Amino acid sequence: MVDKVQVKDELFSRSPVFSHLSASLNGLSTIRVAEAQEMVSKEFDSHQDLHTSAWFLLLETSTAFGFWLDCISVTFTAVVSLSFLVLKSDTFGGNVGLAISQSLILNGMLQHGVRLTAEVVNQMTSVERVLEYTKVPPSGWPAKGMIQFEHMNLKYCPTDPPVLRDLNFSIQPSQKVGIVGRTGAGKSSIISALFRLVKLEGTIRIDNMDTAKLGLSHLRSRISIIPQEPVLFSATLRDNLDPFHEYPDAVLWSALEDVELKEAVTGLDFFVNEGGSNFSAGQRQLVCLARAIIRNNRILALDEATANVDPQTDALIQRTIRTKFQQCTVLTIAHRLNTIMDSDKVLVMEAGIMVEYDHPHILLQNKQGHLYKMVQETGKAMAEQLHKVAEEASIQEKQPHTGCDRCVIPRLLVQWNCMQIGALWNTLDKSKVLTVYYADFGYSVDKLVSYMTNLIFCSSLATVLSAYITP
Ligand SMILES: Nc1ncnc2c1ncn2[C@@H]1O[C@H](COP(=O)(O)OP(=O)(O)O)[C@@H](O)[C@H]1O
Ligand SMILES: [Mg+2]
């Protein structure tokens, strides 16, 4: 058993040595540019120290195991031989010899058997490690785009105070969330935490999967970002839109058409200069937007993407996001309050702490609130317009829409058609309705209770009615 633990330790401490070495060799030029040779060699030494310790422990436990097996064998042979002296004195010499030679063979077989068993258990460690790979998330992850922050703290430097402190909030699938706050409040750091660009404490879950347990490349490839400073490579437009050449030309053209860049370029082999200097700032962001459309991820993050574009491009970006990313969870770090006033929720940050998080219309009711003050600071005319946008968005949200599972019950209550209630209730997957309700209203107890009351009312009504309807 001890042997097995040691083999596991040895295996687990061996892989970091190899992966560190190959990563260092691949990134030699980066290490030299960043003058990080000393740091990297220290890291390598610590990985190697750990592996050497595990290796020596493995050697020692194997030796100790062999020694104790030998002790048992010697004791057994001694007991067999001495028993002839103690028990019977007139045993035939040939029999004594036979018993000793047989016990020696038996010892050899026992030792061999025990060693083989230990060996099998050790080799099975590799199977165990292969099984670990089966736990990676399915290829369609994240299917919904639900994000949960749980007691999340973020520090850029271990000795500094945390930049984000005890963040707790959840974003439901396909919600549009605006993040606002003064410069340095930690808005961009939330996006960095989502991508795990820095070490953090606490948990961030996407579709109930802890992002710390995922490979970084896997996690990062599933979230699209339009950064404040759009990054373009000096390569063809095709390489910029689809760096790994995964999509056909038709998809790339359709994305370019969506962002109205089709006319601005001569073809997919159009060469983009270093840093995208032959594009304007707005066009660079449109290329980033096209890139996000092509990847078609469930989660999109925009970091003050509208900060340096003209109002028309801004409007185009906002419109495209509303149509193309309707089913996606979108986090917008807002530079202009008007872009997020119709969001489902607004998160107000102050000095790394979440101070408000709710629908903008609800937040604007609080005259002492942070969002209210921020809106007032934009001037009287603008503030009025922002209030109006938030109010209209809240009215739109309250209106029952039809066509999906979660609307069935409110729709029934509105239409009040008894025959329909009876018929629909029987076709309804009740557990699904409950799950949708539970997930949809963010675990808010009062809303859940009120909808549960509706559900119970509806179900009793339907039972009574179906008794009448069925002959
Ligand atoms: N890479 C970094 N290293 C150290 N500190 C940083 C880094 N990025 C941001 N910070 C600090 O974190 C705080 C929040 O920054 P940031 O999230 O960029 O704010 P915002 O986007 O709201 O303007 C700031 O005080 C800033 O100094
Ligand atoms: Mg920022």
The residue whose C-alpha atom lies closest to atom 24 belonging to ligand 1 is 184
The residue whose C-alpha atom lies closest to atom 1 belonging to ligand 1 is 156
Centre of ligand 1 from the C-alpha of residue 163, in Å: 7
CA 10 to chain CA centroid, Å, is 29
The tokens of 383 are what?
């503030």
Cα torsion 365, 370, 371, 373 to 10°: value is: 90
Centre of ligand 2 from the C-alpha of residue 276, in Å: 21
Q: HEC profile for 410-460?
A: HHHHHHCCHHHHHHHHHHCCHHHHHHHHHHHCCCCHHHHHHHHHHHHHHHH
Residue 12 is predicted with a pLDDT of 79
Domain 147-358 has CATH 3.90.800.10: no
Residue 91 is predicted with a pLDDT of 78
Residue 456 is predicted with a pLDDT of 73
Q: Which atom of ligand 1 is nearest to the CA of 186?
A: 17
Residue 114 is predicted with a pLDDT of 87
Q: List the one residue out of 293, 303, 292, 353 whose CA is nearest residue 332.
A: 303
Side-chain half-sphere exposure of 227, counting CA atoms within 13 A: 7
Residue 276 is predicted with a pLDDT of 85
Residue 8 is predicted with a pLDDT of 72
Residue 443 is predicted with a pLDDT of 42
215 lines ligand 1 (CB under 6 A): no
Domain boundaries, the chain: 2-135, 147-358, 405-469
CA 84 to chain CA centroid, Å, is 71
184 lines ligand 1 (CB under 6 A): yes
H/E stretch holding 180 reads strand 176-181
Residue 172 is predicted with a pLDDT of 93
Q: Which atom of ligand 1 is nearest to the CA of 303?
A: 21
298 lines ligand 1 (CB under 6 A): no
189 lines ligand 1 (CB under 6 A): yes
Q: Decide: helix, strand or coil at residue 87.
A: helix
The residue whose C-alpha atom lies closest to atom 17 belonging to ligand 1 is 186
Are 380 and 192 in contact by the 8 Å Cβ rule? The answer is no
Q: Which atom of ligand 1 is nearest to the CA of 185?
A: 22
10-residue mean pLDDT profile of the chain (471 residues): values are 65 88 94 94 95 92 90 92 81 87 91 88 84 78 92 92 94 94 91 93 93 89 88 91 92 92 89 88 88 92 73 83 90 86 92 94 93 92 90 76 45 45 52 45 52 69 65 51
Residue 156 is predicted with a pLDDT of 93
Q: List the one residue out of 222, 216, 153 whose CA is nearest residue 189.
A: 153
Centre of ligand 2 from the C-alpha of residue 443, in Å: 30
State the Cα–Cα distance between residues 374 and 337, nearest whole angstrom: 9
State the Cα–Cα distance between residues 125 and 8, nearest whole angstrom: 6
Residue 451 is predicted with a pLDDT of 62
Report how many helices (DSSP H) and strands (DSSP E) the chain contains, helices first: 17, 10
State the Cα–Cα distance between residues 405 and 411, nearest whole angstrom: 10
- β-bridge partners, 303: 333
State the Cα–Cα distance between residues 349 and 301, nearest whole angstrom: 16
Centre of ligand 2 from the C-alpha of residue 199, in Å: 18
182 lines ligand 1 (CB under 6 A): no
Q: Decide: helix, strand or coil at residue 84.
A: helix
